[in-house]
Structure 1
């Protein structure tokens, strides 16, 4: 059993009285951390006025802070980031090559121009920088401003970037964040926070970030923390059980923003099968969507619908494509994708059952390297929700209505080929529930200047306040009775 220390960080203060112990996800790792409940009076920001220091700095100063922070997060030079990588190698579902690449590029997330563009497009820089006035009816005016909120961020640990993005979002919205770290990545947020403390211990952004680890569902912590006197928003990246648990604490004064797990898919039009070279090119692109982040992300393709047809010729084309896709997945470079770190037992059982008894499926590949299951009919495998470990399911169809109707509110990303097919399908896919439509091969390259999971999380992280003004003449007018005796 290898033990890792996970400090509690509260607004610039690093607490290291390690007394709580938790088992890690790999069974051979133990996490020790301060008892969060012991420090609840410090963790909860009960005085909203304490956030006024965030409004004494300009938006440009916030961007400068993030840019400087990024320069201090290089893996080769930052021992905190090195420790986070070391622990993630034990707890993450990502292979070593991918993790090293993630941490080596962590500093790039804090680029100044990236966040200027992101805020301008998703919130409006003028709204975070001051009151924006506009005219309303009857000669009045209204001023609107986006204010930061006291929030708890329950983040996912499937990729280290989630922690970095959360910290940057909190900074540019002038929020006070408590980040609850996950057991498969308990140190990345802490590494960034400790770097912030070393860089600028008294800066308002440093003083409005806390990072804590506790076991999800610990009522002695959550019942005391999730109260309107302490927080105004909960931003939760989590599964159904996690979100259901958090929702029991909701009451007037607390807003829940969920970025819950999704399933993603692919639609390939008949043009894919024009010739072998086109098939191979499409298979190489589809492999990127399946393999990026070891198929650990919500945006990874799992079911791939191909408009090959379901007659024997169509099934043969689908099988040939499945074989190509399996080869392309295995050929992906190790910094991008790799063999499964830990096989999902439930998925393994389902795959073994198919090999033994199903004449309706062909399997190319297998084991930790991944596999492609080709349905010999126009239906996905009945365990499609379990697909992981670089295992994809190719499904031949005669009509693209089948993949369109398969889209639900749980669908996130859909990769489409050829490009011309996107314009034909995107409206109907969106109506059915799709939340992100990309060119084939682009699922792992999200645009953070736009929506996420069909919402705009950064806008919702803010509190939108309005100041209304009306001329005295209008206020007097509303008191004058009309001929009918009604109030005007």
Structure 2
């Protein structure tokens, strides 16, 4: 008897309309699960430049109110679009269903009125520029008007974090953009679920009419060479790994820019103070495990390399306690998928080199810690932490670079001694160990204020105006 493989349907959303179909069959990135989509209608995916963006003259306050209501509707237990989204995503995504539910519902915390207002205020010196032409005058008397004009954006969404879809929709609405969301193969569902929720509130609202979400295989030249053109879009907002960014870069040129949330690696630095007592050691191990296990180590902010200022014996004590806490968090999450074959083989090779490496745990996906004197030459993932023993945290500085996003630091009082050197090395964020996940509202992301980068800054120069005295 032939067993038929289940196929998941992933509809599109085009400017207020749900589009269903099974014209194309694709496979999810990590699990290889088949899913079907309609064919991409390139004409409908593009909002003509001859039309003023639908959101241009909608007051920012109204946009924020609509986003807040969307968040409330997403959190409703009976929301059929979210329930259907979770059911389908649980088949295509590596993360457990409970984690996915937490991600989608947790992301609605971004749709908070005070938070959204703060984000706008931090990104724009004068937020009025989003709603109107703001008058300016320089010291020579020359006048002008400035507008943060609604851009045309393609958002290349990541597959590791469903919550990014909620945040990206909100950001696109705040800058009044015309938005095309390219969904990821592991999650071609969340964006559409959010947009369907918006359409249920008001199908004709300009936010709904400004949003489209489709899927195509990244690198599909037949789609990207048509869409990635300056006559259609101003900027490509790209999340994801190196391949995702490389697919975009080749299309850039005058009039089409890249705003990149490109691949980053986050680390931890643990000073000798962690070994002052049993209590401080337990505290440091718990805080470090919290940073390692953010989104089960799928997020960019999750720590992968932990530089520990310690003797060989103290480093091993730290590894033992760190492993116990990672294993506990892995068991609580329900995510115990084994490491992929290549990573397992590399780690199993290390276990034969007893003098150079220490290994706590196994490659069964239940938590693993590797101790070494230099960072391992592979990417720790799936609840795998590499503890690198150093004589001084100064020695760890040679390992920070422009790909280092977040550094969790312990003890907290030494952070100020390192922040300038970290910034010079390319680091974008330093936090207290254990605080890698939460972020101060409105702070820069990946060394930039994203909304400020998204908009099309337009100047209307009005010359020198005559005054009453002339």
* TM-score, with length taken from structure 2: 0.94
Cα contact 1:94–1:340 (8 A) shared by 2: no
Relative distance call for 1:253 and 1:5 in structure 2 (3 A) is same
Equivalent residue for 1:486?
A: none
Q: 1:317-396 alignment to 2 at 5 Å?
A: 317-332=314-329, 337-366=333-362, 367-375=364-372, 377=373, 379-383=374-378, 386-396=379-389
The alignment covers a number of residue pairs equal to 461
- Determine helix, strand or coil for the equivalent of 2:365: helix
Measure, in 2, the Cα distance between the counterparts of 1:325 and 1:120. Answer: 40
Aligned match of 2:206: 204
Tell me which residue corresponds to 1:10.
14
Once the two structures are TM-superposed, the CA of residue 398 in structure 1 deviates from its matched residue by 1.3
Map of 2:91 onto structure 1: 90
Looking at CA atoms only, which structure, 1 or 2, has the larger radius of gyration?
Answer: 1
Q: Which residues of 2 match residues 128-143 of structure 1 at below 5 A?
A: 128-143=130-145
Cα offset for 1:334? 6.3
1:332 shift after superposition: 2.3
Deviation at 1:143, TM superposition (A): 2.5
Taking the aligned partners of 1:333 and 1:72, their CA distance within structure 2 comes to: 31
Please state how far the C-alpha of 1:29 moved relative to its aligned partner.
2.4
Q: 1:247 to 1:278 in 2, by over 3 A?
A: same
Kindly tell me: are residues 465 and 444 of structure 1, through their superposed partners in 2, closer, same or farther at Cα, counting changes over 3 Å?
A: same
Give the Cα–Cα distance (whole angstroms) in 2 for the partners of residues 100 and 241 of structure 1.
Answer: 28
Aligned-pair distance for 1:28?
5.9
Evaluate the alpha carbon distance shift between residue 411 and residue 351 of structure 1 in structure 2; reply closer, same or farther with a 3 A threshold: same
Hey, what does 2:55 align to over in structure 1?
54
Distance apart, 1:473 and its partner CA: 7.3
Quick check: 1:79 aligned with 2:72?
no
- State the Cα distance separating 1:357 from its structure 2 match: 3.1
Q: Is the 8 A contact 2:330 2:367 kept in 1?
A: no
Report the alpha carbon displacement of residue 134 of structure 1 after superposing the two structures with TM.
Answer: 3.1
Secondary structure of the corresponding residue to residue 351 of structure 2? helix
SS at match of 1:153: strand
> Which residue number corresponds to residue 458 of structure 1?
451
Is the Cα–Cα contact under 8 Å of residues 7 and 33 in structure 1 kept in the other structure? yes
* Distance of 1:266 and 1:42 partners within structure 2: 46
| Shift of residue 338, structure 1, vs aligned partner | 4.7
Task: Give yes or no for the alignment of 1:433 onto 2:406.
Answer: no
Report the CA distance between 1:249 and its aligned residue: 1.2
Please give the per-residue CA displacement for 1:257-304, whole angstroms capped at 9, x wherever unaligned: 111111111111111111111010010000000011110011111111
Question: Secondary structure of 1:194's partner?
Answer: helix
Equivalent in the alignment of 1:215: 217
Question: After superposition, where does 1:226-265 map in structure 2 within 5 Å?
Answer: 226-265=228-267
> Structure 1 147/340 Cα, relative in aligned 2: closer, same or farther at 3 Å?
farther
Q: Which residue of 2 aligns with 1:411?
A: 404
Aligned to 1:113: 114
Please give the secondary structure, in 1, of the residue aligned with 2:82. helix
**Secondary structure of 1:256's match?**
strand
CA shift in 2, pair 1:305/1:87, >3 Å: same
User: RMSD of the TM alignment (CA)?
Assistant: 1.8
Aligned partners of 1:6, 1:448: CA distance in 2, in Å?
Answer: 33
> Quick check: 1:73–1:106 contact (8 Å CA) kept in 2?
no
Q: Compute the TM-score of the two structures, normalised by the length of structure 1.
A: 0.91
Query: Matched residues in 2 for 1:210 and 1:472: separation?
Result: 44
3-state DSSP of counterpart to 1:359: coil
Offset at residue 31 of structure 1 (A)? 1.1
- Retained in 1: the 8 A contact 2:31–2:94? no
**Where do residues 265-304 of structure 1 align in structure 2 (5 Å cutoff)?**
265-304=267-306
Are the counterparts in 1 of residues 146 and 457 from structure 2 also a CA contact under 8 Å?
A: yes
Q: Which residue in 1 is equivalent to 2:180?
A: 178
Cα deviation, residue 362, structure 1? 0.9
Partner of 1:311: none
Q: What is aligned with 1:483?
A: none
After superposition, what is the alpha-carbon deviation per residue over 1:204-226, rounded to whole angstroms, capped at 9, x for unaligned? 00000000011111111111111
Q: Distance in 1 between matches of 2:96 and 2:416?
A: 36
2:143/2:465 contact within 8 Å kept: no
Separation in structure 2 between the aligned mates of residue 105 and residue 240 of structure 1, nearest angstrom: 27
Structure 1 gaps, min length 5: 309-313, 475-488
Structure 2 unaligned regions, length at least 5: none
**Structure 2 counterpart of 1:23:** 27
TM-fit CA distance, 1:75: 5.8
| Distance of aligned partners of 1:448 and 1:152 in 2 relative to their CA distance in 1, 3 Å threshold | farther
Q: Secondary structure of 1:22's match?
A: strand
> Contact 1:2–1:28 at 8 Å: present in 2 too?
no
Q: Which deviates more, 1-10 or 197-206?
A: 1-10
Are the equivalent residues in 1 in contact too, given 2:141–2:465 (CA < 8 A)?
no
